[in-house]
Amino acid sequence: MDRPTYLNAAFLGKHTLWRYIAGIALILIVWLVLGSIATAVLLGIFAVLQGVSPTVLLDFSQSTSVLGYSANFLILNVSFLFLFGGIWLAVVAIHERPLRTLVTAMPKTDWRRIGYGGLIWLVLAAGSSLLEYLIWPDTFSYQLDLRALLPFTILALLFTPIQAASEELLFRGYLMQGSSLFTRNPIWLTLLSGLLFMLPHIFNPEMAVNFTIMAFSYFLFGAFLAWISLKDGTIELAIGAHITNNLFAALVVTFAESAIPSPAIFFTTHFDPLFSLIAQIILFGVFYWFVFIRQKNRQTAPAL
C-alpha cells in the first residue's frame, strides 16, 4: 500500500480558505514586521558597538567591511527565526495540526531522508564547482582564514538549516498544500511554487550579474524542489538539498555578488550566470535520476 502524500496532510487539520488567508497574513506579519524589528534592533546594537551610524550598516556594500562576516550574517538571517515561528503559529493555531504535517503525512519526519537529499546535492555541487575550476582555473583563489571562517561556520550551521528549512516549509509545504486545495495538477503546482520562490529572491545582489538568467535560475530551483517533493510525497529531500546548497555557497565557494558575503574557503572572480544555469539544470537531472530512477525499487508516495 502506498504511504500517504504530504499534500493530503493538509486535510488532517482545518483547511478552509479563510484559514489559509489568515495563515498567510500571520506568517507575513511575524516574518516581515517582527523580523524587521529584530533586525533593526541588532543593527542598532552593532552600530553602537562599532561607533557608526545605523544607516551605514544599511548599505549592503559597507556592512560586511564594518561589522565583519559573522555579525553581518547574523543580521541578515535573524528574521528567518520569525519566519519559522510564524509558520508554526499558523499551522498549529489556525489549522490546528502539527508542524510536521507540512513535511510529511507519516507519524515522524524521516531525518535520514533529509540527510540523504543533502548528501547527494553536496556531491553534485562539489562536482559542478570542480568542473568550473577546471574550465577557469585562474579565477579561483584559496582564501582560508580560520579566524574568520570558524565563528562564521558556527553561525552558518546554526542559522542556515533554519533559513532553508523555513523557506521549504513555506513554499513547498504551506503554500503548496494550500494551492492543492484548488488544483491537484502537479505541473501547475510546480510552476506556481517556482514562481512564488523566485519573487522574494529577485532582490538578491546576484541579480546584478544578469537579472533574467538569475531570476530564471531561482524559478527553476524552486520548481525543481517542488517537483521532487510531489514525486517523493514529502519535502524531506527538498529540505536537505536546500540546506546543503546554501551551506556550500556560504562555506566552500563564494563570489562578489553572493547574497551572503562569507569568508568561504574559495573565492571566484568569474561567475558565469549562463554556465551556472546550465550546470544547475544538469544537476537537477542527475539528482532526479539518482533518487527516483536509479533507486526505482524504493516505494515512493504518489504525487497526488
pLDDT mean over 217-241: 98
- Per-residue pLDDT band for 2 (boundaries 50, 70, 90) equals low
* Cα angle, residue 233 at apex, residues 227 and 236 outer, rounded to 5°: 80
| pLDDT over threshold 50, residue 1 | no
DSSP string, 194-243: HHHHHHHHTTSGGGGT-HHHHHHHHHHHHHHHHHHHHHHTSSHHHHHHHH
Residue 300 lies in a domain: no
CB 177 within 8 A of CB 7: yes
pLDDT mean over 28-56: 89
pLDDT mean over 112-141: 96
CB 226 within 8 A of CB 176: yes
Residue 301 lies in a domain: no
% of the chain with per-residue pLDDT over 90: 81
What mean pLDDT, rounded, does the chain reach?
92
| pLDDT over threshold 50, residue 159 | yes
pLDDT given at position 198: 98
Q: Which has the minimum average pLDDT: 60-64, 68-72, 135-139, 187-191?
A: 60-64
pLDDT given at position 260: 87
Angle, helices 79-89 vs 35-50, to 10°: value is: 160
Residue 246 lies in a domain: yes
- Domain total of the chain: 1
Helix (H, G, I), strand (E, B) or coil at 233: coil
Domain that holds residue 175: 6-293
Cα distance between residue 204 and residue 298, in whole Å: 38
> For 255, phi and psi rounded to 5 degrees?
-150, 170
pLDDT (tens digit per residue) in 54-66 = 777 776 656 777 7
pLDDT given at position 50: 81
CB 124 within 8 A of CB 245: no
pLDDT given at position 187: 97
pLDDT mean over 296-302: 52
Q: Which one-letter amino acid corresponds to residue 42?
A: L
Residue 244 lies in a domain: yes
Q: Which residue has the higher pLDDT, 5 or 302?
A: 5
Residue 303 lies in a domain: no
pLDDT given at position 54: 73
Q: Which one-letter amino acid corresponds to residue 136?
A: W
Burial (CB count <10 Å: 0-12, 13-18, 19+), residue 208: exposed
pLDDT given at position 300: 47
All three cell numbers of 193, joined, read 511554487
pLDDT given at position 143: 94
pLDDT given at position 62: 67
| pLDDT over threshold 80, residue 242 | yes
Residue 302 lies in a domain: no
Residue 298 lies in a domain: no
pLDDT mean over 289-298: 78
- Per-residue pLDDT band for 36 (boundaries 50, 70, 90) equals very high
Residue 30 lies in a domain: yes
pLDDT mean over 133-158: 96
**What are the distances in angstroms from CA 295 to CA 4, 103, 115, 181?**
20, 22, 16, 31
- Per-residue pLDDT band for 303 (boundaries 50, 70, 90) equals very low
Q: Residues with Cβ < 8 Å from 275, sequence gap 6 or more?
A: 132, 135
